[in-house]
Structure 1
């Protein structure tokens, strides 16, 4: 183990995955073919959503989702600072303002109370929407956020990039999968190699709204449709109805996604087994993300907090354990500081960031590898 590299996350590509891609590469369609639609339908079913739209990456998905929800220049949204920058950047792409609410110090998720305080500190209509993030794989309780949003006329765009397969039980004891569209207007998933479903790059948007779905289809592909063909035009006819983008995913990526999706439930079970081993080893030694009752964390990440975070990071890397930090708070990134966020008071997020470190978490992590990670982490603690 001393010479083996252990990353914080990695893809698992099987022979079935490879064969699925080869079969598609040998077919008639490399893009805009039947595999994309098949992937969308199977993904929608996996999260209990009505519609799914595959895109070339989750950032593109976030971008066209806020457009489909009507976000415009000068509008304002609320999101968490503990996320990848794309969760906030999507609003900036359309000229909207980003306002950050602090996190809950135990779950690391966007705080409902802090979000309510921020909304109620401004006149009604000041904000247009909320972008909560299922950080680390832990589902946000969107039922509670939905009530808050409805009270103030706001939409919800769920950033579920970390959480395919995660769920919470609502007040009716019904299982609400991340991205199922019951309490959010739309949701976005990622298929980056370190995520649950690896397509190289790729993303998926889910929604239960046919209106939003139709808008997303246009925005994904140049704003072009062939639906309104008239009798005196041939099969070449199309209309560009709005200014859209080329955010399409390929068929061979979709084929890989279909194969990976079939293993996701088993992967989430394995991720939770790994998380439980970490919790048992680190109980009373490190703080880690709290799991609320009646929730399933899909565990894209397993994060611990340590006072000497830089010391542990360096020690693990010296032992070829490539732990990572998730994330530098978005409001502390130079771009956001330069446009007026340098004096924002988000003490929970900043305290979390000063201590957080993500340990290796992926279904193919072996018991031997995990024990080595635990051993080296505890060695550092006791030095």
Structure 2
């Protein structure tokens, strides 16, 4: 039996990562330098994306997407009820009305049917975009979601903060990398320490559109431009002979500092070099979990994996019918915590939050509520040992049996 506390997720840092950060600290650039460009190039190569814009974090990426596509007070966007707060908060901060849609009760994912239902029942501002979320790393049915969205002229922004390295097959048998934007306009990532690679804090956006790429690059740095062709105040911008003044800049709209530092970017580039084997290890660990829990006589199920997909496996969530247990989920989690095992719930349905509850009345999300009532995330990160998985499985099995 191993000892020590096992959180539900954590970063995996090696000596190469440390050296990459030290090299930047010894360089002339700590931010907005060559390490950021190198990270963008490496990420683009990994996810097959032609345009990558690194930024401060995943929430910043979502906000930049909303700004770049003008998702403002004149429109509404559709967000799945099961997701992290930022998927709804970021476009809403930019002014957009948030419309929540229900999800599949077994996977927690937005579907083309739940998207259509949200579109059919919406009565507010004109719809302009949809934000499918690849929950726990499992890809949504992007071809079907895109087809539905395009019928109504909606932008598609993939929230892939859980899904680095994920892939899926289309109906034509082609393999698509999440992030390549084969069925979307934009894709956003987070590189928080519990994600598949870590930059400390960090995020990125990918797109196939050169114009969106340029808009994002301008917006991530105060929406400021130093390009003479964009300037309006010509009397201030140019010298007497028509030469652009070297100090001059303008903004056409307010912006924020959403830049990523070279320190964070260097760590991300180093982590990307082993992103594929780290994801393979996540799959191996989940395989061990399933073997260890397969014969457990308890009300527990594995989240089904969609056919033709390869999950990013940011999380390993199971579904437990707590109505059949003698103890609540909170008490089960405390029991596991006392045994040195951290668990988490991903997520509380966002429309249940007091702020959003006050904005959308009479919302029916029965499947999202069912998913929430049953989900529990178990420890998963690439440096876990096999015996750590067996320890978690044994403790969970004992806790469930004692509560039947």
Q: Please, what TM-score do these two structures have when normalized by structure 1?
A: 0.96
Please report how far the alpha carbon of residue 170 of structure 1 lies from its aligned counterpart in structure 2 after TM superposition: 0.8
Aligned match of 1:132: 132
Report whether the alignment pairs 1:262 with 2:262: no
Alignment-derived partner of residue 91 in structure 1: 91
- 2:293 is the alignment partner of 1:282: yes
CA shift at 1:234, angstroms? 4.4
Aligned twin of 2:235: none
Alignment of 1:242-261 (within 5 A): 242-261=253-272
**Helix, strand or coil for the counterpart of 1:211?**
helix
Out of 293, 297, 301, the residue aligned to residue 307 of structure 2 is 293
Please report how far the alpha carbon of residue 2 of structure 1 lies from its aligned counterpart in structure 2 after TM superposition: 6.2
Residue 278 of structure 1 aligns to a residue whose secondary structure is helix
CA contact (8 A) 1:316 1:376 kept: yes
Extract unaligned runs of 5+ from structure 1.
none
Q: 1:316 is matched with which residue: 323, 336, 353? A: 336
Name the counterpart of 2:177.
Answer: 177
**Structure 2: how far apart are the matches of 1:233 and 1:210?**
25
Offset at residue 74 of structure 1 (A): 3.6
Secondary structure (helix, strand or coil) at the match of 1:340 reads coil
Q: Which has the larger radius of gyration?
A: 2
Kindly state the Cα deviation for residue 309 of structure 1 after the two structures are TM-superposed. Answer: 2.2
Query: CA–CA distance in 1 between the matches of 2:148 and 2:66?
Result: 19
Distance 1:2 1:41, change over 3 A: closer
Residue pair 2:228, 2:244 contacting (<8 A) in 1 also:
no
Q: Which residue of the other structure, out of 320, 332, 355, is the alignment partner of 2:374?
A: 355
Which has the larger displacement, 273-282 or 59-68? 273-282
State the 1:120 CA deviation: 2.7
What SS does the corresponding residue of 1:7 show, helix, strand or coil? coil
1:346 lines up with 2:365 in the alignment: yes
Moved over 4 A (4+): 122-125
RMSD: 1.7
Q: Which residue of 2 aligns with 1:28?
A: 28
Mapped to 1, the partners of 2:78 and 2:195 lie a distance apart of 25
Distance 1:67 1:59 in 2: 12
Distance in 2, matches of 1:124 and 1:96, equals: 11
Residue 5 of structure 1 corresponds to: 5
Moved more, 273-282 or 178-187: 273-282
Q: Which residue of 1 aligns with 2:246?
A: 235
Deviations 1:236-280 (A, max 9, x none): 333323322110010011000000111110111011111112222
CA distance in 1, matches of 2:371, 2:294: 18
- Which segment drifts farther, 229-238 or 60-69? 229-238
Tell me the TM-score normalized by structure 2: 0.91
Find the counterpart in structure 2 of residue 194 from structure 1.
194
Counterpart residue number, 1:165? 165
Which residue of structure 1 aligns with residue 233 of structure 2? none
Q: Deviations over 1:150-196 (max 9, x none)?
A: 11110100000000000101122111111111111001100101001
Structure 1 position 5, deviation (Å): 0.5
Q: Give the whole-Å Cα distance in 2 for the aligned partners of 1:193 and 1:80.
A: 24
Q: Provide the rounded CA distance (Å) in 1 between the counterparts of 2:384 and 2:2.
A: 15
Length, aligned pairs only:
382
SS of equivalent residue, structure 1 residue 266? helix
1:66 is displaced (CA, Å) by: 1.1
Aligned to 1:330: 350
Q: Is the 8 A contact 1:309 1:356 kept in 2?
A: no
Q: Following the alignment from structure 2 to structure 1, what is the Cα–Cα distance between the partners of residues 169 and 382?
A: 25
Q: More deviation in 309-318 or 4-13?
A: 309-318
Structure 2: gaps (5+ residues)? 230-237, 323-327
CA distance in 2 between partners of 1:151 and 1:54 (Å): 31
Tell whether 2:41 aligns with 1:41: yes
Q: Do the aligned partners of 1:321 and 1:373 also contact (CA within 8 Å) in 2?
A: yes
8 A contact 1:312–1:380 mirrored in 2: yes
Written as runs of structure 1 = structure 2, the 5 A alignment for 1:108-119 is 108-119=108-119
Whole-angstrom CA distance in 2 between matches of 1:101 and 1:337: 14
Of 270-279 and 357-366, the range deviating more from structure 2: 270-279
Within 2, Cα distance between the matches of 1:293 and 1:339? 36
Q: CA deviation at 1:283?
A: 2.9
